Amino acid sequence: MENSEIKSLLEALLFTATEPLTLDHFSSVIGDTEKSVIAHLLEELKNEHEARDSGMALREVAGGYQMFSNPKWHSQIQSLFSRPLIIRLSKSALETLAIVAYKQPITLPEISEIRSCNAAGAIKTLLECNFIKVLGRKRVVGRPFLYGTTREFLVHFGLKDLSEMPQLSEFEELIGEKIAPEIFQSTGTTEMDAEEPVQEQSAEPEHESDIFEPPFEE
Query: What's the pLDDT at 95?
Result: 85
The verdict on residue 11 lying in a domain is yes
112 and 11 in a single domain? The answer is no
Cis ω before 105 (30° cut-off from 0): yes
> What is the rounded CA–CA span in Å between residue 214 and residue 180?
23
Last residue of a domain, one of 50, 75, 100: 75
Model's pTM, two decimal places?
Answer: 0.52
For 80-109, write each residue's pLDDT tens digit.
765 455 456 777 888 899 889 888 999 999
Q: Percent of the chain at pLDDT above 70? A: 73
Query: What's the pLDDT at 163?
Result: 82
Q: What is the mean pLDDT of residues 197-215?
A: 44
**Cβ neighbourhood burial of 28 (10 Å; 0-12, 13-18, 19+):** exposed
Phi-psi region of 188 (alpha: psi -120 to 50; beta: other; left: phi over 0): left
CA 34 to each of CA 4, 7, 13, 17, 50: distance values in angstroms, whole numbers, following the listed order: 15, 13, 17, 21, 25
If DSSP codes are grouped into helix, strand and coil, which group holds residue 56?
strand
98 and 71 in a single domain? The answer is no
Number of structural domains (the chain) is 2
Query: What's the pLDDT at 217?
Result: 38
Q: Percent of the chain at pLDDT above 90? A: 24
12 and 61 in a single domain? The answer is yes
Query: What's the pLDDT at 68?
Result: 87
